């Protein structure tokens, strides 16, 4: 059986004044628990080293100095890589990347059980705005602080299967998962920071959780994928974000979901053959998919 332990490590709040080292210590604690439960891969959230800083108006230079990583691993994250190697567990980590030539991305990496970076992804669907909205209760300045990712949606061989990765808002766009399932992904992992409140209109808060889970379940089913999604959640300096970390099967069913809005590890023994019947029948791309009729998706 192609079966292995998958863990999703949800982070509770990281406050403005929390150090990277304190965040990494929490990640290491959950990595130990994940390995103890037999996980071979643990999924951490988007921007897992700092507070969700795009909620604050500041200059790009200030954001870069306070919240970006010029190296990965760097001094604060090297202990996490060392622990992963000693435990023999791979991981997904989201962080703010500053490249050597000064570009800034909302980035995630897949790291194998020897602590080698296997694959890098730079967030493509950047939500929010780049202008200052002083009347809003908080900002959402991903379009100001990050460039659109230039790595495309990748899939990498890991753990005897094919693993794809994306970040947060990407999960709301069907193209994200289709492009990865067209590359034979069997599992997609992602982190997210999802504010509970909408700054653009008065949206009932329950819809945040509904649309989050709907996006995971629909895309898992329609692409015969396992999906592991890790929240950073709870109230960061008073700004609330939803939890709902989940492991979703290719059937579209939720097999594990977090109960809290704190640091919490959820776990499932995932059978990578579970999607085969869907991929070979209902969603047999070769037999049933008709790309000659899908042109509008690329033309507009």
Q: Taking CB positions, which residue lies at the least distance from ligand ING?
A: 169
| Catalytic choice (46, 97, 142, 236) | 46
Shortest separation between residue 52's beta carbon and ligand ING, angstroms: 7
| Residues contacting 270, CB < 8 A, separation 6+ | 3, 4, 5, 6, 187, 226, 247, 249, 255
Nearer to ligand ING, 98 or 212 (CB): 212
Residue 55's region, left for phi above 0, alpha for psi from -120 to 50, else beta, is alpha
Peptide bond into 223 cis (omega under 30): no
Nearer to ligand ING, 26 or 212 (CB): 212
Tokens representing 278 are 């869907």
Asked if 46 is an active-site residue, the reply is yes
Pairing between β-strand 246-248 and β-strand 117-122 as defined by DSSP bridges: unpaired
Nearer to ligand ING, 115 or 231 (CB): 231
Residues that bind ligand ING (CB under 6 A): 127, 168-169, 172, 192-194
Nearer to ligand ING, 129 or 172 (CB): 172
| Residues contacting 206, CB < 8 A, separation 6+ | none
Closest CA to 97 of 118, 73, 131, 128: 73
Alpha helices in 15-168 (DSSP H): 20-36, 60-67, 78-87, 142-145
Nearer to ligand ING, 213 or 254 (CB): 213
| Catalytic choice (123, 144, 233, 236) | 123
* CB 90, CB 115: distance < 8 Å: no
Which residues are part of the catalytic machinery?
Answer: 46, 123, 168
């Amino acid at each position: 059986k192609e079966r292995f332990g998958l863990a999703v490590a949800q982070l509770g709040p990281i406050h403005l004044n929390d150090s990277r080292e304190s965040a990494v210590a929490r990640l290491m604690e959950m990595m130990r628990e994940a390995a103890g439960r037999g996980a071979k891969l643990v999924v951490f959230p988007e921007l897992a080293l700092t507070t969700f800083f795009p909620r604050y108006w500041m200059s790009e230079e200030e954001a870069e100095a306070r919240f970006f990583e010029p190296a990965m691993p760097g001094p604060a994250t090297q202990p996490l890589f060392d622990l992963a190697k000693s435990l023999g567990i791979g991981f997904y980590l989201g962080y703010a990347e500053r490249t050597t030539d000064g570009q800034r991305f909302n980035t995630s990496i897949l790291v194998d059980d020897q602590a080698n970076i296997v694959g890098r992804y730079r967030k493509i669907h950047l939500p929010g705005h780049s202008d200052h909205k002083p009347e809003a209760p908080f900002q959402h300045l991903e379009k100001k602080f990050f460039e659109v990712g230039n790595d495309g949606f990748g899939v990498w061989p890991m753990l005897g299967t094919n693993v794809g990765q994306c970040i947060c808002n990407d999960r709301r766009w069907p193209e994200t998962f289709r492009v990865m399932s067209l590359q034979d992904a069997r599992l997609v992992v992602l982190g997210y920071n999802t504010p509970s409140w909408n700054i653009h209109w008065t949206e009932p808060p329950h819809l945040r959780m509904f649309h989050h889970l709907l996006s995971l379940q629909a895309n898992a089913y329609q692409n015969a994928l396992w999906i592991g999604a890790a929240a950073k959640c709870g109230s960061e300096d008073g700004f609330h974000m939803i939890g709902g970390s989940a492991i979703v099967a290719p059937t579209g069913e939720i097999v594990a979901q977090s109960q809290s809005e704190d640091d919490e590890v959820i776990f499932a023994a995932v059978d990578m053959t579970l999607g085969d019947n869907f991929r070979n029948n209902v969603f047999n791309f070769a037999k049933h998919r008709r790309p000659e009729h899908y042109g509008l998706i690329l033309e507009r």
